[in-house]
Amino acid sequence: MNGRILIVEDDRSFGLMLQKWFERNGFSATLCSGMVSAQEVLSQSEPFQIVLSDLRLPDGDGIMLLSWLNEKRLAVPVIIMTGYGEVQTAVSAIKLGAFDFLEKPINPDILTKKIEAAFEVKQENIAPPEKPRPERKYNKETRVFVEGQSPLSLQMYTHIDLVAPTQMAVMIVGESGTGKEHVARLIHTRSNRSSGPFIAVDCGSLSIELAPSELFGHKKGSFTSAIEDKTGFFREAHGGTLFLDEVGNLPYGVQMQLLRTLQEKRVRPVGTSTDLDVDVRIITATNENLEKAIEEGNFREDLYHRLNEFMIRVPSLRECEEDIPSYADHFREEANRELGREVAVISPDALAVLKNYHWPGNLRELRNVIRRAVLFTRGSIITTDSLPLLTTRKEESFPKMDISLSVEPEEEKERILRALEQVKGNKTKAAVLLQIDRKTLYNKMHQYNIGL
C-alpha cells in the first residue's frame, strides 16, 4: 500500500506515533493537530486518499470536519477515531458519511484492514485525485445481496420484476441506507440492457459549472480545463442504464438540459454544435420529498414527471422487522469473510434487540452494527454485550415518508398511455405499473377518453 494520508489528532505524541507507523508502511502521512489546520491543508495541498481524524479536536470535531468535506465536495474517505464509549457518536458519524470508525486504543491489525478497505473504496468508487469523477461503474457483481421476504419487500421485488424489462424511467424513493442503489442495479441486471453499461452518478457531487460537461461531455479546448475530449456520463451509458443518485441535488440550471436530452434522446457535448444520439434508460433515486422541492422552486416539475414514469418505494428496515434476522446473518457472514473472523450465530437476545430498534440508518446502519459486533465478539456468538446501545424503540420513530403524487391531467394521461403501451394493453399489469388499482385505471381511462 502507498498513498497520502492526513492524520488529524491533537494528542501530539499519539499523532507522531501514527505518522511513523504509516511511514514505516509505505505511506506519506501529514499530521495536523486541529480542525482548522486540517481544513487549510486539505484546501491547499495535493489531494489525500484517506483522512484519519480524532473525534474530539480542540477547535471542533471529526464530524464537523466531515460536514466541511461534504460541503466542499472533497470526496475522501474519512475514518473517525473514537475513545472508549463513544461508539454512538461514531455511528452518527457513519450516518453522515464517514467511511468507518476506529476505537482507541488502536489495534494495528484493525487499522491496516480499515485503511485497506478505504483504499479499495477510493480506487473503486472515486476517480483519480486530479480529476475527481462522481461515477461508479459496476461491470460485475461484487457483493452478495439478500432479498427480504416481508410483505413490503416482496411487493417491491414484484414491482422490480415488472418494470425491469420495460424502458420506463424509474424513480426509487426511500430513506437513506435502504438499498436504493442496489435496487437500481437490480433493475438494470433484470432488463434487456444488462449486457450494456450501468453508470451511477452522485448528483450531489456535480457542480453547476461542471455538470453539463460531466453529463453530456465536452470538446477539447471548449473551456480552460478541457484539455481533452470528454465522453460524458450519458454517452458512457449508451445501450445501458444511467443511474442518477440523489437526483434532488441536481443543480437547477442543468435540469432543463437533462429534460431536453431525455425528450430528444440526443446530447450536445459542451463546445460543439452537433447533437449525438443516445440510447439510455434513466433510473433515479431520492431520499427527499421532491414535491416539496418542486413547491420551493428547487426542482422542475416537468422533469420530475419525466423521471417518475414508475416509482419504486424501498421500505425502511423498521417496516420490515421480519427481514432483520436474514439481513443480520448475511452481514455477519460478510464481516467474517472480510475481517477474518468465525462468528457463527447471533443470540436470540441480541436478535430481539436488533428487531426492536428503529434503524434510522436502515441497512447501512445494520451492516455497521453487525461488523462492529463481529469485531468485538471473542467467542462464536454475538450477544447483547457486543452490540452498541440501540435504545430508541420503534414506537418512537418518525412518521413514514410521504410519497404521494399529484399530476397534471395531461401528464397523467400520457403516463397511462405509456404504461398501457409498455404492457401491450394489459390493464391489470398497467394498473400495477401505475401503482393504482384496476378500478381507478378504468375510471381514468374513461375520463381521458382512452379506448377501453
- Applying CB under 6 A, the residues found at the interface with ligand ATP are 143, 145-146, 174, 176-182, 245, 285, 287, 330, 363-364, 367
- Shortest Cβ 243–ligand ATP spacing (Å): 10
Q: Which residues pair with 57 in a beta bridge?
A: 60
Cα distances from 257 to residues 44, 267, 270, 273, in angstroms, run: 33, 9, 11, 14
What residues contact residue 333 under an 8 Å CB cut-off, 6+ apart?
Answer: none
Q: Which is nearer to ligand ATP, 183 or 278 (CB)?
A: 183
Question: Minimum distance between the CB of residue 300 and ligand ATP, rounded to whole angstroms?
Answer: 22
Concatenating the DSSP letter of every residue in 303-347 gives HHHHH-SEEEEPPPGGG-GGGHHHHHHHHHHHHHHHHT----EE-
Give the Cα separation of 202 and 13 in Å (integer).
39
Q: Which is nearer to ligand ATP, 236 or 245 (CB)?
A: 245
SS3 4: strand
Min CB(134)–ligand ATP separation in Å? 12
> If residue 8 lies in a helix (H) or strand (E), which one and from where to where?
strand 4-8
Q: Which is nearer to ligand ATP, 182 or 358 (CB)?
A: 182
Nearest approach, Cβ of residue 264 and ligand ATP (Å): 29
Amino acid type, 250: L
Residues 424 and 134: their CA atoms lie apart, in Å, by: 37
C-beta contacts of 141-145 below 8 A and 24+ residues apart: 141/189, 143/334, 144/330, 144/334, 145/179, 145/182, 145/186
Q: Looking at beta carbons only, is 77 or 217 nearer to ligand ATP?
A: 77
Task: State the nearest-atom distance from the C-beta of 216 to ligand ATP, in Å.
Answer: 24
Shortest Å, Cβ 27 to ligand ATP: 26
Q: Which long-range contacts (CB under 8 A, 24 or more apart) does 101-110 make?
A: 102/52, 106/18, 106/81, 108/21, 110/375
Residue nearest to ligand ATP (CB): 179
Cα gap 184→282, rounded to integer Å:
10
Nearer to ligand ATP, 346 or 430 (CB): 346
- Residue 126 Cβ vs ligand ATP, minimum distance, rounded to whole Å: 15
Q: Which is nearer to ligand ATP, 275 or 321 (by Cβ)?
A: 321
**DSSP-derived secondary structure letter, 270:** B
Secondary structure (3-state) at 392: coil
C-beta closer to ligand ATP: residue 145 or 223:
145
Phi, psi torsion values for 194, nearest 5 degrees = -60, -25
Shortest spacing between CB 289 and ligand ATP, in angstroms: 14
452: helix, coil or strand? coil
Of the two residues 166 and 368, which places its CB atom closer to ligand ATP in the complex?
368
Q: Please, which residues bridge with residue 5 across strands?
A: 29, 50
Q: How far is the CB of 173 from ligand ATP (least distance, A)?
A: 10
Nearer to ligand ATP by Cβ, of 96 and 259: the residue is 96
